[in-house]
Amino acid sequence: MEGLTDVPAKWITPDGVKKGIDTICIEEALSISVSNGNDVSFSLGITMRTPGNDINLVTGLLFSEGIINSNNQIIDFHTKNNQITVIVTGLDDKTISNFNRKNTSTASCGVCGKESISNLLHIHGPEISKDLVINTSIISQSIDELRNQQKLFHDTGGTHACGLFDKNGNLLFIGEDIGRHNAMDKLVGNVLSNSSHSFLESFIIFSGRLSFELVHKARRAGISILVSIGAPSSLAIDIAIEHGLTIVGFAKNNNMTVYTGRARIANS
């Protein structure tokens, strides 16, 4: 499977030491550039990701950062080794100034290296659903389904995932990567290449903690309900309150904590 590699390992247990081969998740740098195909271009920087679905990853990243508003603005992708250049319409000097990155992003941080997160704070998305209500039983069911579909995690134990579900708990799209923000970008990019309407009447489940950049990406897409297996951060909650999103944390074993937007969660 793409994104995996085998390495020699030793298992140390009370019964002794066993040698063998272990499967781990690949982490490699991806250099991303954006161009209008002519005389305007800039580097979006380097992100550490699990190889695979790079087109979706870059598409989701460009959308989340406001460089594009739809998949139709992407003309082409030029890929070579671990470098990718995206040809987009409407690229100008102002875009370059707004989205310049200085440093490398690690697999754990979606906005590391930006001069300021203020560029993200003013980027909004479509009007979010005010009528969508999800039952806690559907959330618990969907968590189990996401866990069952985490193929890279099953093999390595080393990846994050996010899944987009409809109101009945049917899995629509999944993103998986060593970085939680990359997993989200892969999911968003996949949805954009199909139907962005899928965002509006659905909810999303994250396999780990819920941080600011994930809430931003969800708000940008128009997703109103965010569920996390782990804890949300304070800034994640602040952004959710500001934009009227629902945040649910510590969702496991049929228990969960609702931090914002309680009206969208129905208790079975």
Instruction: Spell out the residues 6+ positions from residue 57 whose beta carbon is closer than 8 angstroms to its own.
Output: 30, 47, 49, 177, 182, 185, 186, 189
Name the residue with tokens 């470098």: 83
Amino acid, single-letter form, for residue 183: A
Backbone angles phi, psi at 44, to 5 degrees: -90, -5
Q: Is 16 helix (H, G, I), strand (E, B) or coil?
A: strand
Amino acid, single-letter form, for residue 61: L
162 noted as active-site residue: no
Which among 171, 75, 191 has a CA at the least distance from the CA of 126? 191
Q: Exactly one of 25, 109, 112, 162 is catalytic; which is it?
A: 109
Helical segments of 118-211, H only: 118-121, 136-149, 151-156, 180-192
Tokens read off for 24: 């781990």
**Angle formed by the axes of helices 234-243 and 212-221, to 10°?**
20
Instruction: Spell out the residues 6+ positions from residue 161 whose beta carbon is closer than 8 angstroms to its own.
Output: 146, 149, 150, 152, 153, 174, 175, 176, 183, 206, 207
Question: Exposure pattern of 98-127 as b/e (b: 16+ CB <10 Å)?
Answer: ebebeeebbbebbbbbbeeeebbeeeebee
Tokens read off for 218: 């969800």
Catalytic positions are: 109
